Amino acid sequence: MPEAIEVRKVPLHSVSDASELAKLIDDGVIEAGRVVAVIGKTEGNGGVNDYTRIIADRAFREVLVAKGADPAKVKEVPIVWSGGTDGVISPHATIFATVPADRAEQSDEPRLTVGFAMSEVLLPEDIGRTAMVTKVADAVKVAMERAGITDTADVHYVQTKTPLLTIDTIRDAKSRGHDVFTEDTLTSMDVSNGGTALGIAVALGEIKMPRDEDVLRDRSLFSSVASCSSGVELDRAQVVVVGNTRGIGGRYRIGHSVMRDALDADGIWEAIKDAGLDLPDRPHSTDLQGRLVNVFLKCETSQDGAVRGRRNAMLDDSDVHWHRQIKAAVGGVTASVTGDPAVFVSVSAAHQGPDGGGPVAAIVDLGSGDPTGYRGPQPA
């Protein structure tokens, strides 16, 4: 039986800062040895050479070890960093930790649960192909089991980190007589994310097994709960499944929805309501009252170069890549809903939600007493 989960969002005061994690441990909110996952945003360029992810990763692991966690186990904790805080998005991390049964708030209602797994090694020639889809799907099923989830409808968010292609890994594939999906290393981010999302969709029964030629081409194939990130830090799929289960207790619950396009604020509100918050018909950020812990979104520029029938120039812009433009735009829409710029908005959403939109997951605090979510300065 999995244990109840404590989840908190903390700011990053610099690229190498993990002081707010240390404070949570010192204040007794969480125990270093019970941290099971971290998902965050760093302020790098979000590209292949975004080393802020490695710096932040090291800072958080060093704090966990310094605060008493087993170094060997800390190496296995999934820490997923999404680079790029374009626009108003603020660097932050969401920390998940288990809670001893005698400290968990009791409830018979569905409450937050987390499961983790690593896939088999993903070879460079696997990325964006059915070999990747199969390996990711297998890992998702293991993570579900570890989370105590038996019904795929109870899975609301699957965060992954997978390798992308680099000059070295492309060279390695060729030396063994294989080709790769693309030799454009930045494009390989979209390829890796898209292939991973299809693996999640297969595991959860959202789609049947696709063909190699469907990857990045058939955008009608997608997962509504996948949030896929890629980088140079690992050679396997790191899979974190977040959902709800009964019998473990805790304060928190997760829900999900999708944004139909880059302006679909209603999709974000639907995810928050799906998590269990009772909100008015026309909600405002002030209605959240500290009950929202965080939202997690993926976004993508629509392949037709338009939003709601209006043309934009993102895909034609040779000065600023569309990755950065759509991330900033959706980050602004999201922060206007939450009233908090520290939102997890990540780009490259191929096969993650509908074309031009993306999946949304929301974690809320339904516990007794004072809520644990962010309450910023209130508008006059």
368 assigned to active site: no
CA angle 75, 76, 82 (to 5 degrees): 90
161 assigned to active site: yes
Among 42, 47, 46, 45, which residue's Cα sits nearest to residue 58? Answer: 42
Among 89, 159, 83, 91, which residue's Cα sits nearest to residue 329? Answer: 89
31, 63 Cβ separation under 8 angstroms = no
Neighbours of 132 (CB within 10 A): 28
372, 293 Cβ separation under 8 angstroms = yes
SS3 328: helix
SS3 334: helix
162, 192 Cβ separation under 8 angstroms = yes
Phi first, then psi, for residue 190 (nearest 5°) are -65, -40
- The full length of the chain comes to 380
| Active-site entry in 67, 161, 298, 327 | 161
Token readout for 108 is 């018979």
Token readout for 357 is 């939109």
| Active-site entry in 229, 230, 302, 348 | 229
Neighbours of 368 (CB within 10 A): 9
Catalytic residues: 161, 229
